[in-house]
């Protein structure tokens, strides 16, 4: 347990950040799962319509500092790759 006042404050702030980041990560996972479900079902039109929204959620998480830029880019590339694979 921290004894110094600033350390106590850091513990509280870290807990708040953890909760906020967890919610944002959950939002990203949900969006990706919805997209992947459409890909698995073979619904190309709906997947193409959902792709911009999913990418937007990932980019928002990146700009909030939840994901590193490379992680966000990798997730977006994976979504595009799976959509392009099913189009062929």
* pLDDT reported for residue 66: 97
Eight-state DSSP code of residue 66: S
Model confidence over 6-59: pLDDT tens digits? 999 999 999 999 999 999 999 999 999 999 999 999 999 999 999 999 999 999
What is the band of 88 on the pLDDT scale with cuts at 50, 70, 90?
Answer: confident
The predicted model scores a pTM of 0.89
Model confidence over 59-72: pLDDT tens digits? 999 999 999 999 99
Locate the domains of the chain by residue range: 5-87
Question: Are 2 and 8 contacting, i.e. CB atoms less than 8 angstroms apart?
Answer: yes
Angle of CA points 21, 24, 29, to nearest 5°: 125
Instruction: Pinpoint the alpha helices (H) of 42-68.
Output: 44-63
Does CATH place domain 5-87 in 3.40.50.1820?
A: no
């Amino acid at each position: 347990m921290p004894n110094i006042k600033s350390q106590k404050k850091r513990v509280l702030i870290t807990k708040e950040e953890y909760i906020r980041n967890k919610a944002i990560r959950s939002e990203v996972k949900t969006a990706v799962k919805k997209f992947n479900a459409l890909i698995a079902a073979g619904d190309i039109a709906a997947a193409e319509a959902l792709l911009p929204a999913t990418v937007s959620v990932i980019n928002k998480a990146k700009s909030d500092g939840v994901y590193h830029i490379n992680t966000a880019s990798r997730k977006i590339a994976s979504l595009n790759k799976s959509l392009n694979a099913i189009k062929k």
